[in-house]
Structure 1
Amino acid sequence: MREPRNIEECVYFARKQLFNDSNEAKGSIMAWVLKGEEDRIYLKYTCPFCNYRGELSLPNIWKRKRMEGKYREVVEFTCEACGRECMLVKEVPKRKRYSRSL
């Protein structure tokens, strides 16, 4: 798995924390989608449950979920060591509402 040298090589890049069941930030994730490879998302993560450090390449498919009253886009993946579900989450921008002029 090739890590990007700079952000200009990426269509998407993120570094985020991963939370366990007690809502403690115990893990981390770095995710990127390279230009020319928009169908794959690459993940380098530390599991918040077992502290396993792993790398994954997944199809770049974001699912829309409602979490905490807001819609968010999520990539779900399973830790290779403990088998627990982890999520990479990004907020969906709020749609602009246009008023109708009569």
Structure 2
Amino acid sequence: MFVKRPVNQVVLADDTVDFLCEAHGDPAPTIRWRREEGELPRGRSDIRNDHSLRLTQVRAEDEGTYTCVSENSMGKAEASGSLQVHGKTRHNTHEYGHTRIWA
């Protein structure tokens, strides 16, 4: 049974994001993470002591669905959250009296 589940998140590039996951059961379940679109980001993902998944310096290519898998001898349960990454904050610059927006 999930006590905390991952939720869908929208963040800016270079942000840090946490997907929460906590499950209880008897016997106590093991928890692991997977990404539907491939591997977890190498060198920028960490499964913490509370079983949450932390992604640092997120990039556009990290977008996708992250799934927490809880498993014990009684069965398996999964809960997922999606990640969307938006580009950097827009910067304004003036050129010849006109405003240009840089993405």
- Structure scoring higher RCO (CA < 8 A, sep ≥ 6) equals 2
Q: Which has the larger radius of gyration?
A: 2
